[in-house]
Structure 1
Amino acid sequence: MPKIVDHDQRRKTIGAAAMKVIAERGLEATKLVDIARLAGVTTGAVTHYFSDKDAILMAALEMAYDIMFANMEHVKEQENYSFFDIISTALPTTAESRIAMTVWLAFWGRSIAEPRVATMQLEFHHRWQNIVTQELMRHYQRHRIPLPEDLEDVSQGITAQVNGLIIRGLVDGPDWPTARLHKSLRVYLEQVGIHALP
């Protein structure tokens, strides 16, 4: 009897392996054979699910964002989560988020020379930016604070701050552990009038 293969799960397994290889070796050094080996499949199986190396790399980028968005949705399931709780999920404070954010960072460099990658990055960034804005509005409304006229500017500033902290946490990890990343984010949010309230 032929073995039943869960194709969606196989794609996810290969995508997760691609993320790990990219995080460890960078985009240019990532090879299909290494992805296949880590996923426990043949290179033929990889090319069965993805047309070429570029397709699997882009799938890894999409998966990196999916992880961040899924973590945010998990926080939303809690009854009294704070603005800080949901925004801080983007920081590289777990093994999973470090891998995801390393992939995210690797692709920004590629975005400069490749319009297709830039378009994909910007689409995900706008989705992330919209979440920040929505959560900001929720925060102000829950605490009966009038929405600032420059709400979009505040949201953009927070997003830029988080992006900067992600880079510091990845590039200078030993000097930027979780506690320092969280403290720096809290300080910034307080400076713009957003306290870590539920």
Structure 2
Amino acid sequence: MPKIVDRDAKCEELTRAAIEAIAERGLESVKLSDVARIAGVTTGTVGYYFRDKEELLIETLNTVARDILERMRNLGPIKPDSLQVYLPLTPKLMKQWKVWLAYAGASPSSPKLSKAYREFYADIEALYADILDETDPEIVRVKAGNIIAALDGIGLCAVLQPQLWPAERQINAYKELVEPLMKTKSR
């Protein structure tokens, strides 16, 4: 009797392998064979589940974005220091940041990646807007965008120069740049 494979589970397994491969080789250098090797399958198996490398890369970007959004939704009541969970403070988060930044660098030259990237940022901005105690939609949009920019800047510095941006410095920068934006408006 043929083995029944859960398509969604296999796609998830392959995108997780792609995250590892991208962190190891970079977005431009990663090959389907790298993903297959890490997943412990053949390149043909990867091709069966994804039409081409671009489709796998877009689904991998979506997986990373879903992970980030899921962490955000599971935080519970948001306090000023809550968003520190997004900084590359652990080896696992550092790997995710490397992958995320690889996609950021590739997005301007790929309309499909750029679209996926913009959709994620709209989702994260909406989540941040929910935690900001403001009524003016323009203030909410600006503050949410500033929070994203600050977190991305800290993460970028930590990935590019980890020896200069250890956890303590990342947290200090967070406290100076992000926490003031999280404060509720005066009533």
Q: TM-score, normalised by structure 2?
A: 0.88
The structural deviation recorded for 1:147 is 7.0
Of 115, 127, 139, the residue aligned with 1:131 is 127
**Percent identical across equivalent pairs?**
31
Partner of 1:5: helix, strand, or coil? coil
Gaps of 5+ in 1: 141-145
Q: Which amino acid aligns with 1:177?
A: P
Equivalent position of 2:111 in the other structure? 115
State whether residues 61 and 107 of structure 1, in contact with CA within 8 Å, keep that contact through their aligned partners in structure 2: yes
1:63-142 correspondence to structure 2 within 5 Å: 63-76=63-76, 80-85=77-82, 87-137=83-133
Q: Which amino acid aligns with 1:151?
A: V
Q: Which amino acid aligns with 1:117?
A: L
Equivalent position of 1:143 in the other structure? none
Number of residues of Structure 1 aligned to a counterpart in Structure 2: 184
Q: TM-score, normalised by structure 1?
A: 0.83
Matched, 1:152 2:141: yes
State how far apart, in whole Å, the 2-side matches of 1:16 and 1:148 are.
36
Q: Which amino acid aligns with 1:8?
A: D
The structural deviation recorded for 1:23 is 1.2
Q: Which amino acid aligns with 1:73?
A: R
1:23-102 correspondence to structure 2 within 5 Å: 23-76=23-76, 80-85=77-82, 87-102=83-98
The structural deviation recorded for 1:149 is 7.3
The structural deviation recorded for 1:116 is 2.1
The structural deviation recorded for 1:81 is 4.2
Kindly report the root-mean-square deviation, in angstroms, between the aligned alpha carbons of the 2 structures: 2.2
The structural deviation recorded for 1:54 is 1.0
